[in-house]
C-alpha cells in the first residue's frame, strides 16, 4: 500500500463525532477523526513499514501521524528521527501516545527520554516522562536502575507543581506507574504520591481536573494489579 491509498482508507474511516473529540483535546486540521481501533485492519495488511510511516507522519494529518506510530519500525529509527518526530508532535496525543510509545520500543529509549525530561519544553518533557511509563509498564524490573528511578521520583516530588500542565500529567502518571509496575520502589512511589497530593491540571474553557496518584495506586492494589506489566506497548 502506498501513501495515497492509506490516506484514502483513513479518510473513509473518519467520523465527525470522533473528529470533534480529538479537536477538543488539542488536535488541529487536517484530520479525519478515525477511531484507533478502526486502524487495526489496515495495520495488519501493512505490518511494519518505516518508509511509509515517515511519509504518513510528514503529512501533518493527525490520523496519519497516529497511524505512522502503529506501523513504524522503532528499531530502525535513530535519535535524529525521534527528534524530528517530537518536533512535529504539536499536542500531547502525539507526543505521549505516538512518539513516546514508539521510542519505548528501542534501545535508546532511556537516553532520549532523559534528554527530553531535561529540555524544559512542555511536550518534550511530557514525552520523556511518558516514555518511562511505557517502559516501566512493559519491561522487566531488572532492566532499570533502582537508584535512578528513585531519584526521578524525588525530582517529580520537588518540581511537579511548578511544571507545565501536560508535563504535570505525565509526571503524575510516572508516580502511579512506578507504584504499580515497578515493585522495588512501590513503597517509595506511595510515599511520593502522598507527599505530592492533588495535582491541578488547567484546561481551556473547561473546569480544571484534579489528579491524585495515591488514590489511583490504591485502586489498582485493591484490584490485585500490583506488579502489572503490559505484554505489548503498541496496539
Distance in angstroms (rounded) separating the CA atoms of residues 180 and 190: 9
Between the CA of residue 189 and those of 154, 165, 196, 214, what are the distances in Å? 9, 21, 10, 9
Query: Can you give the residue range of the structural domain that contains 54?
Result: 1-72
Quote the pLDDT of residue 232.
Answer: 85
Q: Are residues 61 and 99 in the same domain?
A: no
Mean per-residue pLDDT, 57-68? 98
Distance in angstroms (rounded) separating the CA atoms of residues 4 and 90: 23
Q: Are residues 222 and 118 in the same domain?
A: yes
Judge whether 232 lies within some domain.
Answer: yes
Q: Are strands 206-211 and 199-203 parallel, antiparallel or unpaired?
A: antiparallel
The number of domains in the chain is 2
- pTM equals 0.96
Helices 122-136 + 109-117 axis angle, to 10: 140
Quote the pLDDT of residue 233.
Answer: 84
Q: Are residues 120 and 179 in the same domain?
A: yes
Are 126 and 167 a contacting pair, CB within 8 Å?
A: yes
Confidence label for 213 from pLDDT (cuts 50, 70 and 90): very high
Q: State which H helix or E strand residue 206 sits in.
A: strand 206-211
Q: Are residues 9 and 60 in the same domain?
A: yes
Judge whether 106 lies within some domain.
Answer: yes
Quote the pLDDT of residue 203.
Answer: 82
Confidence label for 235 from pLDDT (cuts 50, 70 and 90): low
pLDDT above 90 (res 206): no
Give me the residue label for grid cell 534501545: 107
Domain final residue pick, 72, 103, 134: 72
Q: Is 18 in a helix, a strand, or coil? A: helix
Quote the pLDDT of residue 97.
Answer: 97
Amino acid at each position: 500500500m502506498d501513501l495515497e491509498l492509506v490516506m484514502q482508507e483513513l479518510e473513509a474511516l473518519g467520523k465527525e463525532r470522533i473528529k470533534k473529540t480529538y479537536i477538543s483535546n488539542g488536535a488541529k486540521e487536517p484530520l479525519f477523526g478515525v477511531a484507533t481501533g478502526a486502524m487495526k485492519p489496515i495495520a495488519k495488511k501493512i505490518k511494519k513499514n518505516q518508509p511509509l510511516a515517515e511519509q504518513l507522519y510528514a503529512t501533518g494529518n493527525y490520523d496519519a501521524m497516529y497511524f505512522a506510530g502503529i506501523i513504524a519500525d522503532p528499531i530502525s529509527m535513530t535519535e535524529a528521527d525521534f527528534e524530528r518526530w517530537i518536533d512535529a508532535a504539536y499536542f500531547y496525543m502525539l507526543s505521549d501516545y505516538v512518539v513516546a510509545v514508539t521510542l519505548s520500543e528501542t534501545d535508546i529509549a532511556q537516553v532520549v527520554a532523559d534528554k527530553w525530561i531535561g529540555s524544559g519544553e512542555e511536550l518534550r518533557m511530557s514525552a520523556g516522562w511518558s516514555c518511562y511509563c511505557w517502559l516501566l509498564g512493559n519491561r522487566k524490573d531488572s532492566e532499570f536502575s533502582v537508584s535512578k528511578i528513585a531519584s526521578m521520583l524525588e525530582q517529580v516530588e520537588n518540581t511537579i507543581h511548578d511544571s507545565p500542565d501536560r508535563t504535570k500529567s505525565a509526571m503524575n502518571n510516572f508516580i502511579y506507574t512506578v507504584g504499580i509496575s515497578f515493585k522495588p520502589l512501590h513503597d517509595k512511589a506511595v510515599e511520593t504520591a502522598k507527599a505530592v497530593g492533588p495535582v491541578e491540571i488547567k484546561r481551556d474553557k473547561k473546569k480544571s481536573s484534579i489528579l491524585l496518584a495515591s488514590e489511583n495506586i490504591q485502586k489498582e492494589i485493591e484490584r490485585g494489579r500490583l506488579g502489572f506489566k503490559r505484554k505489548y506497548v503498541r496496539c
